[in-house]
Chains A and B, each alone.
Chain A
């Protein structure tokens, strides 16, 4: 039997389910004991990065070509950076609007006064967000999941990876799902066009840096509702980002096409079962948030 030279849809679905469950269970158990920063590092290294690297090792996949560790042109790098910078206010705007809607319709989650993290936990959180998450999550979602679904078609691959990336972010709150889907679409499109994870890693890093720096500044101005200037910046940023993404060069790296023949684009029964399990699990997480907001559960 010939081993496939790239991930299959079944493998992607199984790994996605396991990663989502472990992230939630691990965070519930470990975050209160170890702190937010350490927990993020465990999530990124153990649950997100390790599965695709282990699979590659077991199946002897050439990591550089399968997960597309390719170099990109300076133009593609610049487009990745500036399109992330431009679209971030739009995703922030969406997230805030959804959160306000949920607060008004479903209620606010009553949480005890959060403890202030130590300086070391804060550093772990910052490094985790701007270095670890872009590398680990991109290897998992764009390198592994997108590659698995590309067996059907390239665009099917990046759209599915974006949807799973968005759905996974329900663990951070329902309001994060749609913004993460949009960011996922941009990152998937960049990988689809450039044939390299470098573009999406850069995009992801810039989006997370924006969340840390600009996010804090924006938060101070939106306590009383969304100001007019944010509506303008959000939609102007979206347009600029789309224009920039339109100009990203066609595949800098053509290595992707060579593996096309080895792709398994069949959707096995096991793959379907794990996809359904993932949907049930993530929808349940969302419902649990609504119930907590409504005061039905603590």
Chain B
């Protein structure tokens, strides 16, 4: 048995060395950390530079969620623009811009967009520099009924909660002016998993809904610059008080907040 154990240990040691070396080589140099389920597109900023340089185009055959992770090992300011043929649900346009600086390791810009079927393209604007920009993207088909629900919210019907969620607050934003007004308090006696969905039909002015706690906060759940839909944000919250705060100026439409607890 001693021989068998030593043989296993020695052969496994070779396998281990091989894996450690390959792992080291695959990481060497760039410091990027894009999960393997993402399709990775690498932009060499020494070769692909300029204004709105097309990086890739993707055809969506069905309504889908597009998850994006963007990293770069170059320190200059770069713009990444997503242009969709269809509307980007929860926004007022079919374009979104991200500003990217140096982001490596666990730091990244990540975004989840819900798009109808059609093509979307990704463009980069950057000066010539040493370094790379990596865009990870993965497309997942949405359940038709779920997409329909989000589409209704996008088209001005925010009172469409997901299954299992209950309304905790709603208001007409027209004529409302407030800054960090507490609209709801979640009090937890023990650590709890919660789900939060916030939707608004506002298409103008300034608005923002934030969840502020002692240990955990989520700012800009819905925000005039980033989107009108925050769908099923799930989190484990420590015991304590969490304040749902509304900031609003010259906005219109309705705001709905739904909670699953």
Contacts and interface: CB of A to CB of B under 8 A. Distances in A.
A112 B13 CA distance: 32
Contacts of A124: 16, 19-20, 23
B23 A107 contact: no
Contacts of A230: none
Given A35-B23, A198-B1, A127 B15 contact: yes
Interface in B26-49: 26-27, 33, 35-36
Given A120-B23, A124-B19, A124-B20, A135 B216 contact: no
B26 A120 contact: yes
11 contacts: A34-B20, A38-B20, A69-B5, A71-B1, A104-B191, A112-B106, A115-B106, A124-B16, A124-B20, A127-B12, A197-B1
Q: Which of B8, B12, B26, B236 has the most CB of A within 10 A?
A: B12
B23 A45 contact: no
Contact of A103 (B2, B22, B191): B191
B25 to A, nearest CB: 9
Contact of B13 (A45, A70, A198): A45
B15 A120 contact: no
A94 B63 CA distance: 43
Nearest to A63: B2
Contacts of B190: 103-105
Q: Which 6 A-B residue pairings sit nearest by Cβ, starting from the closest? A: A120-B23, A116-B35, A104-B190, A69-B1, A69-B2, A103-B191
A63 B6 CA distance: 11
Task: Tell me what chain A mostly uses at the interface: helix, strand, loop, or mixed.
Answer: helix
A259 interface: no
Contacts of A197: 1
Interface residues of B, number: 29
A104 B239 CA distance: 8
B5 A135 contact: yes
A19 B182 CA distance: 52
A254 to B, nearest CB: 16
Interface of B: 1-2, 5, 8-9, 12-13, 15-16, 19-20, 22-23, 26-27, 33, 35-36, 105-106, 190-191, 193, 214-216, 236, 238-239
A203 B239 CA distance: 39
A115 B1 contact: no
What band does the interface of chain A fall in when counting residues whose beta carbon is under 8 Å from B?
A: 35 or more
A59 interface: no
A64 interface: yes
Contacts of B15: 127
A257 interface: no
A277 interface: no
B26 A70 contact: no
Interface in A98-122: 103-105, 107-108, 110, 112-113, 115-116, 118-121
A123 B19 CA distance: 8
Nearest to A253: B1
Interface string A39-80: 001000100010000000000000110000111000000000
A132 interface: yes
Contact of A107 (B2, B35, B191): B191
A252 to B, nearest CB: 12
Contacts of B216: 110
A241 to B, nearest CB: 24
Given A119-B36, A127-B12, 9 more contacts: A49-B9, A70-B1, A103-B190, A103-B191, A107-B239, A110-B238, A116-B36, A120-B26, A223-B193
A173 interface: no
Given A41-B16, A107-B239, A113-B106, A64 B2 contact: yes
Contacts of A103: 190-191, 236
A72 B251 CA distance: 77
B2 A121 contact: no
Given A38-B23, A116-B35, A135-B9, A107 B238 contact: yes
A203 B133 CA distance: 48
A131 interface: yes
A131 B1 CA distance: 15
Contacts of A104: 190-191
